[in-house]
């Protein structure tokens, strides 16, 4: 079977462009404009003329079009970019408009400056939290546990990589990191020869699509591969080693983007080991990057992963705030903090991370997770845009989509980043419909004002351009509330965790309850939930802006859907929805399961209406989702029935 082209189905696009003749009108050529010509001629096989008069569509660059160098304008017979990359984006926008049958009239500039994808791919070919096959970058020739290996660890499938780069450019992504932030074994050596040269080959291809390539590093690299005795950021030899290493990277990859760093987190090494803080660590690296305009992207996912459940004052949710808020203003201009949208870890439901809006003098990236670690592993349907949009529009001293750049000293050093969800699977994502999330992430970065519904409609129109409108509508209905459906049958009302440890799919209600990861629900015979109030709990609620804190501090004001994240609540407590907590738990879990049953029925009605590969793929996933929803429903309901002793109002079956 051919590899899925995602929304860029060349044969269909070619048909829609049969009557078009393109002319590229440029003063200067560069690698991106050459790529553009190749996209027209070679990829799509369209007519590219040397005579302007013959053309039906003229492509050109006009630096006066917009202040934003990535902007474009598409008209009936014209595509203009502020720069060559703007023009490339304009070309894909033109394809999008053509395919969806919209008016050929769109002037647009990206809302977020940095629009980045992180890969958690590992040199042995596996992907941490990957649910769609092996890595497209690395092959399974090596092992993560070895330090050196004779064989080539790269997959070298440049056909696939080019398809991927095209997809990224087509949704406006402009930066990518290739390897997992947990950098171990041989992965540590990607920044040095002979591996960096191979990274360079990928980076060179990606650059033609306007993509900057980044690598994740192991903080201890100077010790591990540099033969130094320390990785102390204030040690002169450490700095020298990094400067030399970075100099060499730029010899090989002149437009290298920079580094991504997970330090002092979940057992990874970091500056804390040497009594230094994160600004010391990041700024040392940043200095070595200065002359190249390279970036240091520093993750704030730092917490004590040895939390003792016995002490209820411990609160992992507070960790990033406590570690980084005191450093606001201390980071160099080419350092960016990469901050997860929520305070825990991409959960089904979390409030906004309170650092957003609070950090005023620090470059910021808001981090999302496209790969469905906590959202059903691309087995369960889960169109997640509504959740993400809620985060970027959450008001804590202003809404993140505005404050992120406003609070970043260098506004262009800010934006959105997400962990990708693709692998070597034929449809890239394991579940064909999970492509919508990747597509949607790109579109959300570019235009913060699009709604989840608009993005989904757009994606459906592009991905299934030849199916009937009713069929698109049916798939739309399946997906649009699928994130809420998943939430319904998961851990109740944002209490978090309750899933199988490490694997993070399926229920294990006490899986983390007495473990060291700080993810507790505190359920007992009377109620459940985490008290994060200032008066009687961990005080996390007070980290928000006063208007927000006032809501979260007060059980009666906290919205139902986030209630158990902030409060311990008794089973008989009446919620805003007019029902008791226990009845809400039961109702949600029965409803979640029923919804999945209806998805299956709905999907079956589409047999023969969508291509067979997609039909079979989604049908198989839905059966597994039903089993998952059933397990969640029954285990959650039984657990809380055993705890509370309160039967279901409606007398539905809850196993003893």
Residue 309 found at the interface with a copy of itself (CB under 8 A): yes
Least distance in angstroms from the C-beta of 633 to a copy of itself: 11
Per the annotation, the verdict on 373 as an active-site residue is yes
On whether the CB atoms of residues 413 and 295 are closer than 8 A, the answer is yes
Question: Interface mask (CB under 8 A) for a copy of itself, residues 463-502, using x and -?
Answer: ----------------------------------------
573 vs 633, beta carbon nearer a copy of itself: 633
Least distance in angstroms from the C-beta of 203 to a copy of itself: 35
Residue 126 found at the interface with a copy of itself (CB under 8 A): no
3-state secondary structure at position 31: helix
- Number of Cβ within a 10 Å radius of residue 14: 13
Q: Which residues contact 594 (CB under 8 A, 6 or more apart)?
A: none
Question: Over the range 251-267, which residues count as b (16 or more CB within 10 Å of their CB) and which as e?
Answer: ebbebbbbbbbbbbbee
- Number of Cβ within a 10 Å radius of residue 425: 20
280 vs 634, beta carbon nearer a copy of itself: 634
List the one residue out of 496, 481, 472, 487 whose CA is nearest residue 565. 496
Residue 645 found at the interface with a copy of itself (CB under 8 A): yes
Residue 642 found at the interface with a copy of itself (CB under 8 A): yes
Please pick, among 29, 42, 251, 266, the residue that the annotation labels catalytic. 266
204 vs 630, beta carbon nearer a copy of itself: 630
Least distance in angstroms from the C-beta of 386 to a copy of itself: 30
Restricted to residues 602-641, the positions that interact with a copy of itself (CB under 8 A) are 631, 634-635, 638-639, 641
Q: Which residues contact 375 (CB under 8 A, 6 or more apart)?
A: 346, 348, 369, 382, 384, 483, 486
* Options 204, 312, 393, 579; binder of a copy of itself; rule CB under 8 A: 312
Restricted to residues 503-562, the positions that interact with a copy of itself (CB under 8 A) are 507-510, 514, 522-526
365 vs 523, beta carbon nearer a copy of itself: 523
| Pairing label, strands 335-340, 364-369 | parallel
432 vs 504, beta carbon nearer a copy of itself: 504
Per the annotation, the verdict on 345 as an active-site residue is yes
3-state secondary structure at position 641: helix
Least distance in angstroms from the C-beta of 305 to a copy of itself: 17
Q: Which stretch binds a copy of itself (CB under 8 A): 29-37, 150-158, 307-315, 465-473?
A: 307-315
- Give the length of the chain: 656
Residue 329 found at the interface with a copy of itself (CB under 8 A): no
Least distance in angstroms from the C-beta of 628 to a copy of itself: 13
List the one residue out of 525, 520, 494, 518 whose CA is nearest residue 509. 520
Least distance in angstroms from the C-beta of 634 to a copy of itself: 6
d(Cα 228, Cα 238) in Å, to the nearest integer?
Answer: 7
Cα distances from 297 to residues 118, 417, 469, in angstroms, run 11, 10, 43
Torsion of Cα atoms, 192 then 195 then 201 then 207, to 10°: -50
* Interaction site with a copy of itself (CB under 8 A): 309-310, 312, 507-510, 514, 522-526, 631, 634-635, 638-639, 641-645, 655-656
Give me the active site residues, please. 266, 345, 373
């Amino acid at each position: 079977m051919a590899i899925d082209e995602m929304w860029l189905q060349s044969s269909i696009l070619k048909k829609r462009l049969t009557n078009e003749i393109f002319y590229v009108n440029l003063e200067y050529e560069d690698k991106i404009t050459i790529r553009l010509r190749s996209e027209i001629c070679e990829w799509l096989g369209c007519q590219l003329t040397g005579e302007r008069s013959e053309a039906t569509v003229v492509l050109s660059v006009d630096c006066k079009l917009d202040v934003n160098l990535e902007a474009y304008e598409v008209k009936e017979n014209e595509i203009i970019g502020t720069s060559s990359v703007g023009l490339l984006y304009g070309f894909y926008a033109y394809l999008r408009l053509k395919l969806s049958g919209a008016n050929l009239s769109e002037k647009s500039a990206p809302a977020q400056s940095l629009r980045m994808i992180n890969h958690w791919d590992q040199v042995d070919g596996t992907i941490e939290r990957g649910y769609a096959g092996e890595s497209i970058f690395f092959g399974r020739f090596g092992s993560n546990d070895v330090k050196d290996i004779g064989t080539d660890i790269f997959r070298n499938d440049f056909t696939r990589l080019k398809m991927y780069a095209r997809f990224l450019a087509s949704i406006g992504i402009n930066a990518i990191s290739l390897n997992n932030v947990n950098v171990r074994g041989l992965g540590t050596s990607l920044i040095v020869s002979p591996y960096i040269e191979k990274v360079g080959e990928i980076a060179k291809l990606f650059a033609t699509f306007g993509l900057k390539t980044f690598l994740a590093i192991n903080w201890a690299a100077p010790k591990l591969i540099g033969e130094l005795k320390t990785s102390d950021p204030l040690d002169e030899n450490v700095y020298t080693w990094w400067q030399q290493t970075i100099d060499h990277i730029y010899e090989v990859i002149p437009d290298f983007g920079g580094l991504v760093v997970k330090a002092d987190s979940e057992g990874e090494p970091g500056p804390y080991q040497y009594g230094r803080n994160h600004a010391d660590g990041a700024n040392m690296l940043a200095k070595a990057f200065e002359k190249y305009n390279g970036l240091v992207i520093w993750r704030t996912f730092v917490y004590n992963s040895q939390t003792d459940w016995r002490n209820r004052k411990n609160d992992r949710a507070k960790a990033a705030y406590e570690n980084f808020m005191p450093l606001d203003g201390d980071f160099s201009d080419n350092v960016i903090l990469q901050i997860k949208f929520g305070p825990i870890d991409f959960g089904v439901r979390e409030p906004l991370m309170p650092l957003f809006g609070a950090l005023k003098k620090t470059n910021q990236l808001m981090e999302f997770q496209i790969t469905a670690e906590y959202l059903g592993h691309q087995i369960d349907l889960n169109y997640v845009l509504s959740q993400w949009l809620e985060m970027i529009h959450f008001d804590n001293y202003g809404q993140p989509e505005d404050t992120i750049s406003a609070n970043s000293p260098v506004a262009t050093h800010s934006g959105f980043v997400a962990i990708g969800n693709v692998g070597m699977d034929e449809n890239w994502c394991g579940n064909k419909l999970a492509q919508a999330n990747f597509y949607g992430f790109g579109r959300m970065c570019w235009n913060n004002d699009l709604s989840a519904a608009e993005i989904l409609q757009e994606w459906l129109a592009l991905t299934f351009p030849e199916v009937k409108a009713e069929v698109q509508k049916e798939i739309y209905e399946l997906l649009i509330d699928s994130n809420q459906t998943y939430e319904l049958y998961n851990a109740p009302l944002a209490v978090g965790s309750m899933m199988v440890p490490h694997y993070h799919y399926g229920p294990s209600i006490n899986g983390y309850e007495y473990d060291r990861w700080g993810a507790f629900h505190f359920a007992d015979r009377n109620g459940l939930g985490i008290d994060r109030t200032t008066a009687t709990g961990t005080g996390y609620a007070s980290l928000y802006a006063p208007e927000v804190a006032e809501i979260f501090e007060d059980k009666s004001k906290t919205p139902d859907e986030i209630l158990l994240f902030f409060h311990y609540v008794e089973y008989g407590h009446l919620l805003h929805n007019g029902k008791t907590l226990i009845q809400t738990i039961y109702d949600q879990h029965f409803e979640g399961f029923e919804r999945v049953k209806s998805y299956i029925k709905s999907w079956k009605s589409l047999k023969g209406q969508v291509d067979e590969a997609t039909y079979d793929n989604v049908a198989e996933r839905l059966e597994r989702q039903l089993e998952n929803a059933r397990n969640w429903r029954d285990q959650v309901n039984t657990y809380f029935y055993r705890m509370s002793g309160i039967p279901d109002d409606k007398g539905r079956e809850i196993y003893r």
